[in-house]
């Protein structure tokens, strides 16, 4: 099925002003109507002219659709927020806060905060299942972007990745690549009994004892594919992530690395969606 296009013209038609953005948000969060806690039932609500809220027709109780979302208590117009989401969703490798500053005409501080708020919506939960490839990689440090199986001694950060074949991806910024760190992440993020593929790294040696089916290729022996056993999908995730971080963001500190890792995992997970990724991000709007 061909991917549905969503152009900037489409975006401007759907969200021409703040009223349209707020109306979309209200309809998304309350698809069956707004429940009034005073009247204890769904009642008609009308938009207030002077604030971002809707008032109950019967008792006057106010509901604020932006509450508990990334837009909460923000003085930035909703149209700029939605446009920032559109820009982030429309690029293959991401977009920098500096570019957003130029696009929206806001300060760099505002642009930086907006992107990090949007990235909060790109942290997806749930467990992976079926056939899952796992691998670890190192990012940052003085020896940037080079994969290294040895403990980091030059400021590199460890990222552990899990990718469903023809499915979703998850990546976690972890303290180390030891089995005491990676095994709990496997049990937390991969369904019991799933088929796991990896390389020969020591931390994966006893995965089958945990109730998973496990098969590994031996990269050290130049073995990269053995029938269905390979890690090409998770390697593809690393390639996209590192190329994007290096090309767009230049450097990412350890404090914010998980947010960037979430962004690229989300991009990978939704790369084949029928709808534009803009809608996939907005679908998480109630995650503040």
Domain with 82 in it: 8-123+278-282
Q: Do the domain assignments include residue 63?
A: yes
Are residues 138 and 63 part of one domain?
A: no
In tens, the pLDDT along 70-94 reads: 999 899 999 999 999 999 999 888 8
DSSP string, 35-50: EETTTTEE--EEE-SS
- Residue 146 is part of a domain; what is its CATH number? 3.30.420.10
Is the confidence at residue 1, as pLDDT, over 80? Answer: no
In this structure, are strands 157-164 and 131-139 parallel, antiparallel, or unpaired?
A: antiparallel
- Residue-wise pLDDT tens digits, 26-40: 999 999 999 999 999
In terms of domains, do 45 and 164 share one? no
- What does the pLDDT read at residue 99? 92
* The total number of structural domains that make up the chain: 2
Predicted local distance difference test score (pLDDT) of residue 13: 97
What mean pLDDT, rounded, does the chain reach? 91
112 and 172 belong to one structural domain: no
Residue pair 8/87 in contact by the 8 Å Cβ criterion: no
**Beta pairing partners, 51:** none
User: Do 114 and 58 sit in the same domain of this protein?
Assistant: yes
Q: Is residue 3 part of a domain?
A: no
Q: Strand pairing partners for 213?
A: 195
The pair of three-digit structure tokens given for residue 195, joined into one six-digit string: 């088929």
The answer as to whether 288 is a domain residue is no
CA angle 138/235/164 to nearest 5° reads 115
Task: Answer yes or no: are the C-beta atoms of 261 and 159 closer than 8 Å.
Answer: yes
pLDDT for res 149:
47
114 and 228 both lie in a single domain: no
Average pLDDT of 252-262?
90
Number of Cβ within 10 Å of residue 230's Cβ equals 20
pLDDT digits (tens, 9 = 90+) for 115-164: 999 999 999 989 999 999 999 999 876 544 445 444 444 678 999 999 99
Is residue 1 in some structural domain? Answer: no
- Do 79 and 115 lie in one domain? The reply is yes
The residues, ordered by sequence, that sit 6+ positions from 122 with a Cβ below 8 Å of its Cβ are: 262, 263, 265, 266, 281, 284
Q: How many helices (H) and strands (E) does the chain have?
A: 9, 10
Exposed e or buried b for every residue in 91-100, given b needs 16+ CB within 10 A?
eeebbbbeeb
Q: By three-state DSSP, how is residue 117 classified?
A: helix
User: 149 and 260 share a domain?
Assistant: yes
Q: With respect to residue 2, please indicate whether it lies within any of the assigned structural domains.
A: no
Question: Looking at the structure, do residues 138 and 265 belong to the same domain, yes or no?
Answer: yes
Indicate whether 214 belongs to any domain.
yes
Contact at 8 Å (CB) between 171 and 258? no
Give which of 141, 84, 93, 142 is closest to 113, Cα–Cα: 84
Within this chain, do residues 236 and 145 fall inside the same structural domain, yes or no? yes
Residue 108 scores a pLDDT above 90: yes
DSSP 85-106: HHHHHT-SS---HHHHHHHHT-
What's the DSSP call for residue 142?
A: S
The answer on 143 and 112 residing in a single domain is: no
Residue 166 lies in a domain: yes
DSSP state letter for 173: E
Contacts of 262 (CB under 8 A, 6+ apart): 119, 122, 123, 124, 171
Q: Are residues 99 and 178 in the same domain?
A: no
287 assigned to some structural domain: no
CA distance 54 to 181: 47
- Provide the percentage of residues in the chain whose pLDDT is more than 90: 78
Tell whether 159 and 233 lie within a shared domain.
yes
């Amino acid at each position: 099925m061909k991917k549905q296009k969503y152009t900037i013209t489409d975006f401007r038609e759907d969200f021409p002003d703040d009223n349209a953005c707020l109306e979309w948000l209200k309809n998304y969060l309350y698809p069956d109507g707004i429940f009034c806690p005073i009247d204890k039932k769904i009642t008609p609500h009308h938009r207030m002219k002077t604030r971002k809220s809707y008032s109950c027709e019967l008792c006057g109780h106010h509901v604020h659709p932006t509450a508990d979302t990334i837009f909460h208590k923000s003085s930035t117009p909703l149209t700029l927020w939605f446009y920032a989401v559109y820009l982030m969703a429309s690029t293959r490798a991401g977009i920098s806060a500096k570019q957003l500053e130029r696009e929206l005409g806001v300060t760099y501080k505002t642009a930086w905060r907006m992107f990090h708020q949007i990235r909060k919506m790109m942290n997806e939960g749930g467990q992976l299942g079926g056939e899952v490839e796992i691998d670890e990689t190192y990012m940052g440090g003085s020896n940037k972007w080079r994969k290294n199986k040895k403990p980091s001694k030059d400021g590199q950060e460890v990222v552990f990745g899990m990718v469903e074949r023809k499915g979703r991806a998850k990546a976690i910024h972890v303290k180390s690549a030891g089995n005491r760190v990676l095994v709990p992440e496997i049990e937390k993020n991969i369904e019991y009994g799933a088929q796991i593929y990896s390389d020969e790294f020591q931390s994966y040696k006893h995965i089958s004892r945990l109730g998973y089916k496990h098969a590994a290729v031996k990269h050290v022996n130049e073995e990269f594919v053995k029938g269905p056993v390979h890690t090409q999908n998770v390697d593809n995730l690393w390639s996209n992530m590192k190329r994007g971080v290096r090309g767009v963001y230049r450097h990412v500190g350890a404090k914010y690395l998980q947010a960037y890792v979430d962004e690229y995992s989300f991009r990978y997970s939704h790369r084949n969606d029928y709808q534009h990724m803009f809608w996939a991000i907005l679908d998480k709007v109630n995650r503040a």
